[in-house]
Structure 1
């Protein structure tokens, strides 16, 4: 129950066209007062609204034990890069998703403690009913789930319905939105692609037209029919881009929808300073839940369960997020107690860790360390449309291969990661279905061999030591990067390796959010990024190289008939050896074309202040504030 430290005044209307005023004093006592509203000042309108707004509990202030979030319980978080708004249909920004997952809700989510990751119901009563042929999913929504209070709803409670999910999925498919996540559902839902093609021809997506495979059977029942069985489909329904939004909010706020998110989740956006500060406050309409997760066998869980079992959630009333891109500044903020938990900057590992364990000077402060190998891969992409690095001729493939062979991944692990990473051998990282621990990449750090490869294909060295293109024109690479210490180390590793093979390089520094937008437009010659699993299956990584996703997740605009054919075969198979063998072939095809230079999977060491309870970083879930408590 919120702690009340000051008098609060508010009002709402009742069925007699009266204003029901109430005040709450510091001692929690509630005083009610009624005042008649004359007809000429809006009585008829209020009478209509009063049929919905009758009871005090429907006012914008919600009091009582049903709302346990305490405004005095504040979590101070930090992001190492900026978001680009919170409309997840239009971005795949990791930090945008972190906030959006606290604001919007998907049909399914993940058990907070279960490892490996396990799906559980979220806004639905139970896991979906699946037809015997595996193609029809029926979901039954919980009743009395409401969107956060917002003027767009006319000061009334707006309930979540099955139609909201129909609209949200259609919006993801709408070609006008150019969603980088549209490929997640392309070709999957019966009749939806037909409507997409119609929209491409007419220039308008008809949201009111019925799609055979995507229907609200009634207010709380959603039925989705697939073109073919897809064992990964439930995972997609736990992905943020398929979370429920309200049509009226999207259409009212238009382009501002990205910075005026309205969802049904545990938090709502209170304050937003782009690339600087984000403040979330507990959603007073959120239904809440009881913290009742079972330990997974990890010793870390024992104390966590003792601290949290049986609590009404969320407990945290306010989340304050600072964007601090420079690692040293972020590390100093944590040391000063301004951040409640953060992943240890890898450049600070020698200061904080001894053989991978937190040093006594930190454990003596009660700081806890939670380590995990991220289900992610870091890489540098090549723009396959770029006149220098793009193309599929033998000499262009040779250039990309030589560039990739010049990068010293071990130097990155030692100099940047301080040993807190492992070389990525394939696109699919450990912890994700389809990862093959025996797989070894055909691209290694071999600068001498890379030089001979360039010689063979006519990239000739000049007197200054740098090479030209086979036609004699200058060969200059442009690698987009960010203004932080980690990026500077990576740039230095690239520079050393490329100098060894005689390839000139320029580094263009930009902001992460802007770089992501340019990458989505296939405007970057080379760019380094990381992909964190949206769901724990290899398809989530392979779709980043699928041709039809070019410009919409496939940021290198890689198009390979062989790769695409293997991808289509793989997604039609159930999880298992046959699908995994196709993933291996797809890795080999990517390496043959050298569309990416694959780098590492990072070990994350999360440092948690002693007053934070309930923390355990999930491999898929981003937002975790609703699972936490503080005892400052």
Structure 2
């Protein structure tokens, strides 16, 4: 063996020894996260879809709200712990006051027939500041520091980190006015423009005015008045809406009503900024607990603690405080509890799950996608008593957060259809028979791992009007048996079908089989499609599919050219009005001359009358009584096959606290607390380097190399001896 070979062998042996030595004393080799700063508390999470909009005026996506709602705040928010959901002040110093006005803007009572407007007055908390941002940097004369006349003058600024100076700015009432004007500006393409124009006085006129104004770069919206919104003083503003609409308070808790400082809007309209993604749609500016410091669409997003965040203590009331909801030691402490949150884009569920199980993610998911079906069987065991953690999850100390979403998925009957539509007793019984046969409990068990709750009507749990137990069952579809609801039998469904004129699934007059048509975008084959067919075959009814793309599907619903179709709704706010309006006749496409939300074309004058009353009433026993009547009507008429409310399951590693999920709000990151010491310890235990293959390779290499080394040294010794003998 040449000398260089010996050196290589020796180097290999030394390197191997060093590697084995480091394996015993270093941290995990597979840590995908960047090193933390000393004393820093970091949350590690993920999301599954690339974001499109981070401008609060433009975004209507739950995935985007995961980030927007940490950065922006609105006048109101939801209490983190209280259920049913309760509004509370956020940037507002107290709940808004409301005064009712006639057409001459004179005060009237809430019951006055002359009531034309509702005037909401909102007073802000004092001493609230925006996050540090270059938009607020100023010259000595108060002029913004970063204003450029040309693209060339701003070409050196590629990202926000290129701006060496940032400023801070006090929140003012005028910022809410500016934000609402941005909603009204057609250039911003807000998805709420049409809806809010029906309520905020003067919004339609403002939209038309600014639409026709020529603009090059920035249009200063402060120069244009919007009649229904006004500044009273630096901390107070008013919003005047048409008529009486108590649910408007819920809209004041959405990020659409977040304040927007004009300086930020002006800053992002500098020449050349848009092409470099220096926009409000890419880099938000808010007063929230966190600010965005990195936005890489192909990698992930980083949020850091807003150093200017106002004193916001963890709640000390509202629910029994436990591990999920919060520890008593956290009550009253200022939030947020973490310094930085790093979110990685994980488009596939498998790598996300693997990293969670290795401890690199703190929770199993952060956006609207809960545990995938592929991983559900690994995480849970399903028994007659319900869903529980698997032994492996319990051994790891992992715990569950659950939330029944304020949502409903259903199958709609087109009430204009000559077969399944109509309001006669026979038509009611036909729809009831089909609904009984459509066994949603079986569907949930087979296709969703039991992650849902069969619907008893249009109102989901957590929303006023929903009732638990025997009082809440749908008596047309269920019986109450042994303390729980039990779906009526197939024999009962067949009886109703016969009374509807279809004995054994055939028309009593013509003898022809009853064939129903389900319009869908999902195809006509596969396990779910076969399951649907079997449900109706149980009562002798045939089901066929009419498939189309989504655009055509929407056209058919709008034009009333469907018979059966699948649909769903997720609440914008936790009020029964947000579900009952799906059955309001004014929301049919024909009546509203639009893509109405009443896709079944249900029209019942008695229900409409009740809905009009419910819509403008505050929560009260009287309102609940009217809700009971309205719900009973739609249960009897049965315009929907009552589907299910989704139940989501999320897993939390044992070092994460205050993990309660909120079905409406997403501004929950600030409540989380992390035990970083426990996390590091368990990460080491779960990611110990597997070094036995290295040891095996080392032994094999030594067994191969050692004989050659021994032979080499023997030859060397023999040569030395031979030379010495010649010299002697």
TM over 0.5: yes
User: What CA RMSD, in Å, does the superposition of the two structures yield over aligned residues?
Assistant: 5.1
Deviations 1:211-232 (A, max 9, x none): 4442112332112344455544
1:409 is aligned to 440
Q: CA deviation at 1:289?
A: 3.3
2:621 is aligned to 577
State how 1:598-609 maps to structure 2 within 5 Å: 598-609=642-653
1:161 is aligned to 172
Change in 2 beyond 3 A, CA 1:216/1:560: farther
- Cα pair 2:75 2:89 within 8 Å, conserved: yes
SS in 1 for 2:44: strand
Deviations 1:389-440 (A, max 9, x none): 9987989999987775653201123223444432111221122112234244
- Cα pair 1:175 1:196 within 8 Å, conserved: no
Change in 2 beyond 3 A, CA 1:146/1:559: farther
Change in 2 beyond 3 A, CA 1:295/1:384: same
1:249 equivalenced with 2:288 (yes/no): no
SS in 2 for 1:241: helix
Change in 2 beyond 3 A, CA 1:118/1:451: closer
Deviations 1:24-72 (A, max 9, x none): xxxxxxxxxxxxxxxxxxxxxxxxxxxxxxxxxxxxxxxxxxxx99995
Return the match for 2:287 from 261, 264, 267: 264
The unaligned stretches of length 5 or more in structure 1 are 1-67, 470-474, 482-486
- Cα pair 2:206 2:226 within 8 Å, conserved: no
1:239 equivalenced with 2:267 (yes/no): no
The 2-side partners of 1:606 and 1:161 are apart by 38
- Cα pair 1:466 1:503 within 8 Å, conserved: no
More strand by share: 1
1:298 is aligned to 320
- Cα pair 2:65 2:666 within 8 Å, conserved: yes
1:121 is aligned to 89
The 2-side partners of 1:594 and 1:625 are apart by 41
Deviations 1:501-538 (A, max 9, x none): 3222266799xxx9999999999977756544443321
Return the match for 2:407 from 347, 357, 377: 377
1:16 is aligned to none
- Cα pair 1:107 1:122 within 8 Å, conserved: yes
- Cα pair 2:327 2:658 within 8 Å, conserved: yes
The 2-side partners of 1:604 and 1:311 are apart by 29
SS in 2 for 1:422: strand
The 2-side partners of 1:71 and 1:555 are apart by 54
Q: How many residues align?
A: 544
- Cα pair 2:71 2:286 within 8 Å, conserved: yes
State how 1:589-628 maps to structure 2 within 5 Å: 590=634, 596-628=640-672
The 2-side partners of 1:555 and 1:150 are apart by 47
SS in 2 for 1:434: coil
- Cα pair 1:105 1:265 within 8 Å, conserved: yes
1:218 equivalenced with 2:233 (yes/no): yes
Deviations 1:345-389 (A, max 9, x none): 5672685246444344322212123344x2423313549699999
Deviations 1:436-486 (A, max 9, x none): 342444467767579766969x9989xxx99768xxxxx5622449xxxxx
SS in 1 for 2:327: helix
State how 1:453-492 maps to structure 2 within 5 Å: 475=517, 477-480=519-522, 491=529
Higher mean displacement: 249-258 or 293-302: 249-258
1:76 is aligned to 44
Deviations 1:104-138 (A, max 9, x none): 21111133234443333222333334559574432
Change in 2 beyond 3 A, CA 1:207/1:560: farther
Change in 2 beyond 3 A, CA 1:262/1:359: same
Q: CA deviation at 1:320?
A: 0.3
The 1-side partners of 2:38 and 2:464 are apart by 40
Change in 2 beyond 3 A, CA 1:362/1:468: closer
1:366 equivalenced with 2:397 (yes/no): yes
Higher mean displacement: 74-83 or 381-390: 381-390
Change in 2 beyond 3 A, CA 1:404/1:293: same
Return the match for 1:337 from 352, 359, 362: 359
The 2-side partners of 1:172 and 1:305 are apart by 41
1:541 is aligned to 579
1:503 equivalenced with 2:543 (yes/no): yes
- Cα pair 2:47 2:345 within 8 Å, conserved: yes
SS in 2 for 1:412: helix
Larger radius of gyration: 2
Deviations 1:309-359 (A, max 9, x none): 535525241230445565x66545533334322355567268524644434
Return the match for 1:424 from 445, 450, 455: 455
1:48 is aligned to none
Higher mean displacement: 428-437 or 356-365: 356-365
Q: What is the TM-score when the length of structure 1 is the normalising length?
A: 0.68
- Cα pair 2:260 2:286 within 8 Å, conserved: yes
2:122 is aligned to 139
State how 1:4-153 maps to structure 2 within 5 Å: 73-79=41-47, 85-87=53-55, 89-90=57-58, 92-131=60-99, 135-141=118-124, 142-146=126-130, 149=133
Q: CA deviation at 1:609?
A: 0.6
Return the match for 1:280 from 299, 302, 314: 302
Q: CA deviation at 1:207?
A: 7.8
- Cα pair 2:72 2:287 within 8 Å, conserved: yes
1:33 is aligned to none
Change in 2 beyond 3 A, CA 1:612/1:534: same
The 2-side partners of 1:148 and 1:391 are apart by 59
Change in 2 beyond 3 A, CA 1:220/1:187: same
SS in 2 for 1:289: coil
Q: What is the TM-score when the length of structure 2 is the normalising length?
A: 0.60
Change in 2 beyond 3 A, CA 1:118/1:338: same
1:196 equivalenced with 2:196 (yes/no): no
- Cα pair 1:370 1:616 within 8 Å, conserved: yes
- Cα pair 2:54 2:282 within 8 Å, conserved: yes
SS in 1 for 2:650: strand
